[in-house]
A and B are shown apart, each in its own frame.
Chain A
């Protein structure tokens, strides 16, 4: 007969409660891992969704996400003419607080030129922008719905399309408007500020400013060669999209990533200690029974099997409970929680290893116990 199973069956309620507690703990660990992964994935979605090969930005900057970048709108023409470039598009990026029927909506607005690279990716409803003014494609994360009206600056925009999972690295949902609208939004200052600018001699003339130009290349063209070519213009700087992604993960979300990473690590260590303690005390409580088993002649292997099987069952059931829990609630998080099979498997393997190590401690104590202790009162 399997002693581990019989013991669990006899104390089923308690065992399941312990599994549940462990499951909640591991659920939190998984949530943190998912939040960590989500942060990195979200930092990259916009860049990846644009499917650009080369980013051209202001000289000596790592824009437009890591640093401010302002380049003349004419740069797009020049970039488009570089050998190997199939298409180029100007982009602006600006975080704005809009207003939709009295509700504040915080959006990362992206100005783009319809029919050129940089438009909304992962459209799940409606359409892309068709008119040159006052249309907007928003991410569903903003809470906006089709045909909602949003006031941005001085103008009212209509939501014509919705995307999914398109957010800025800070978590603000993205919203696309035309480049012209976005430049208005950026440079149409409130009247007093405008007067100051005009007094300084900075008229409306240099309104054609964008934050970046992205280029898609012909098949076979090398991104770093195009970037090198673009860098020959003294006022521009360029990077491949791989470099842009590195900047995003290494510098833009780096602190947040490390912060969450640190916390996740601590949580993992704490969970490991708690699992070890649960299993160790579980074994300690049984020492008398183990002594009795030894006294009546049970071989060590039988005792080891009982402890190890129970710890592994506890760990694995707890882990599955935690994983199920987090799978159920992960979409309720305000930001993305990304859990892939490899994350689950890694944590599963860690839990497995911790259970083995913890049961090794219990096994050591169990093997040391003197069968004579069963005889004494």
Chain B
């Protein structure tokens, strides 16, 4: 087993203090190896998004430590700027709704992430085009998000998540807005990526149709991973 890309040890996160205190995560430990695709399951309010935000360099936990690709983050020395760079270079995000920028066409929505990482305008557009081809939406490159179907938009969003060859992909309900056929296609795509590029993929989902596509499924309950209910497939 190779060294995990994502490693969380005793991570807790609470919001508020006193009467209004909410313990969103309680002592969560988790590791994900390269090429692994895991699912986070759990009822609403159980802490799934909070966990994703902690892994995604967006939300600093109250305690515990997090290591991503051999870097310990939230160690007090990391600045907001460093976290931003990590997000840019190592993490790809996929949302429930595609969150594409409405004023850029599909190609530029992918290219913009590449430009942020330092690629030139022209290189970024070319690479974005190739990525869209790879995701089989290349012919929709000039279309604006409003003109894309749900499945196409989600694939463009995945292309954007992949723009800078991330080591980690975090997806919050990526298939919730898709029918089961398209959901299957998107999941197969993610599995293919994980296998080909040794990416670690964490997917938050309720979608029972796709459970068989995961290496592991973790159940969250009241901010804790329920070991009894978690399973490997």
Write the residues of chain A forming the contact surface with B, with a CB cutoff of 8 angstroms. Answer: 1, 3, 6-7, 9-11, 288-289, 292-299, 302, 370-372, 374-377
Contact = CB atoms under 8 A, between A and B. Distances in A.
Nearest to B161: A296
Contact of B84 (A7, A11, A299, A372): A299
Interface stretch (B19-27, B101-109, B129-137, B187-195): B101-109
Given A6-B108, A10-B103, A375-B93, A297 B172 contact: no
Interface of B: 49, 52-53, 56, 58-59, 81, 84-85, 87-89, 93, 95-97, 99, 101-104, 108, 111-113, 115-117, 121, 144, 160, 172-173
A377 B88 CA distance: 21
A372 B58 contact: yes
Contact of B121 (A1, A10, A293, A296): A1
Contacts of A371: 58, 87
13 contacts: A3-B103, A3-B112, A6-B103, A293-B101, A295-B56, A296-B88, A297-B84, A297-B85, A297-B89, A297-B116, A374-B95, A376-B49, A377-B97
A289 B116 contact: no
Nearest to B121: A1
A288 B101 CA distance: 9
A10 B116 contact: no
B112 A1 contact: yes
Given A296-B87, A371-B87, A375-B172, 13 more contacts: A1-B104, A1-B112, A6-B104, A10-B102, A10-B103, A294-B84, A295-B56, A296-B93, A296-B112, A296-B113, A297-B84, A372-B49, A375-B53
B88 A372 contact: no
B131 to A, nearest CB: 14
Contacts of A293: 101
B103 A292 contact: no
B57 to A, nearest CB: 9
A146 B128 CA distance: 75
Contacts, number: 73
A370 B80 CA distance: 12
Given A10-B144, A295-B87, A374 B99 contact: yes
A73 to B, nearest CB: 78
Contacts of B84: 294, 297, 299
Contacts of B81: 299
B87 A372 contact: no
B113 A297 contact: yes
Contacts of B56: 295, 375
Contacts of A377: 96-97, 173
Nearest to A288: B99
Contacts of A374: 93, 95, 99
Contacts of A9: 103
**Interface pairs A-B: 3 shortest CB-CB:** A297-B88, A10-B103, A7-B103
A10 B160 CA distance: 20
A292 B116 CA distance: 13
Nearest to A374: B99
B125 to A, nearest CB: 9
Nearest to B88: A297
Contacts of A1: 104, 108, 111-112, 115, 121
B103 to A, nearest CB: 4
Nearest to B85: A297
Nearest to B96: A377
B144 A372 contact: no
A289 B101 contact: yes
A3 B81 CA distance: 21
B121 A375 contact: no
A375 B52 CA distance: 9
A293 B108 CA distance: 13
Interface centre among A3, A9, A292 (most CB of B within 10 A): A292
A296 B102 contact: no
Interface centre among A9, A10, A295, A372 (most CB of B within 10 A): A295
A372 B11 CA distance: 18
Given A10-B144, A297-B84, A297-B85, A375 B49 contact: yes
